[in-house]
Amino acid sequence: MSAQLEEAKQFLKSAPADGSASLYDHLSKVLLKIVLERPENANQQFEEISSAVRATSLKTPQPLPEEVTVSTKNFAAMQINALR
């Protein structure tokens, strides 16, 4: 992994001062919801999906199961590789 990509990943994983989930965790949950539910207009619905994930996370904060985290990481890696 390039140094720039690793630096970006660490930035996204940094915990906010208010104790909420990192941007990396939030985006992982949003992308997982999109992959599992496959909405027709995911691009147009991204903000609504993000808000729904945030609202759910605020009510019941729970870490992702390890197998979901690994799947999300694999999905992200596939997307990064597709961009190259």
- Segment 20-68, tens digit of pLDDT: 889 999 999 999 999 999 999 999 999 999 999 988 876 555 555 555 5
Higher-confidence position of 2 and 67: 2
Contact 57, 26 (CB under 8 A): yes
Its pTM stands at: 0.62
Contact 31, 72 (CB under 8 A): yes
